[in-house]
Amino acid sequence: MKIKLEHISKNYGKRNVLKDVSMVTESGSCVGVLGGNGCGKSTLLAILSGTRRATSGRFMYEDRDIFKDKRLRTSLVGYVPQGTPLIEELSARDNLLIFYEKKKLEKELKNGSLELLGINEFINVPVKKMSGGMKKRLMIGCAVANHPKILLLDEPSAALDLICKRRIAGYLEAYKRIGGTIFLATHDEEEIRLCDNCFILKDGGITEYMFDGDVDKLVSRF
């Protein structure tokens, strides 16, 4: 199954943040969206999620434009932004119950995505008392409640400890194995190694990059 971004542009007045961004990827793959700070990575993922509007372009799945069908987008796309859109006063369980029916929640905690993410370890902890890694795993758990086929992640392991990074990486590998497609905006070397192909955003445009493990060479392209 091919997923295509076609000629996506975003303008803020006379400023062109994204210029004719196009790419094609297959189901079951992880696409790295790389680039320096302010290059447009977060803007691109926000557009794909529907939280921002593109000036032009299409987001194609099975020859259907996700941008034009809100119901399709809601069923297909999960989004984890950099911020923490969780309710601080509620526990992990109560935040999840906003997205899951009770029976489905218990099933996922026992043997599903939430179990893989290790959310059982802090299921009754209020968000305001959670570490950054707990919050990020909870956000991913909320984002995959509808078993989306496309997962958008904006720097998911930034400032997290190694254990949390490994938990998230393990989940993403499992998500790919069942045919999920990931768009991953990242600066993290280990996350880049999860990617099947990488694209660099620079000056609003995008180019494919074959990452060979040489980080210095990669950074020189930003």
Instruction: List the alpha helices (DSSP H) in 122-202.
Output: 132-143, 162-177, 189-194
Domain span holding position 11: 2-212
Tens of pLDDT along 137-186? 999 999 999 999 999 999 998 878 888 899 999 999 999 999 999 999 99
Please indicate, yes or no, if residue 128 is contained in any of the structural domains: yes
In a domain, 218, yes or no: no
Retrieve residue 6's tokens: 């076609």
Total structural domains within the chain: 1
- Overall residue count recorded for the chain in this entry: 222
- Does 221 fall in a domain? no
Residue 219 lies in a domain: no
Has residue 177 been placed in a domain? yes
**pLDDT, tens digit, 9 for 90 and up, residues 105-150:** 999 999 999 999 999 999 999 999 999 999 999 999 999 999 999 9
What is the signed CA dihedral for 138, 182, 188, 88, rounded to 10 degrees? -20
| Lowest model confidence (mean pLDDT) among 99-103, 146-150, 173-177, 208-212 | 208-212
Helix, strand or coil, per DSSP, at residue 148: coil
> For the whole prediction, is pTM greater than 0.75?
yes
Q: Would residue 169 count as lying in a domain?
A: yes
DSSP per-residue string spanning 31-52: EEEE-STTSSHHHHHHHHHTSS
CA torsion through residues 156, 92, 77, 50, sign:
negative
The predicted-structure confidence for 31-87, as pLDDT tens digits, reads as follows: 999 998 889 999 999 999 999 999 999 999 998 999 999 999 999 999 999 988 899
- Please check whether residue 163 lies inside any domain of the structure: yes
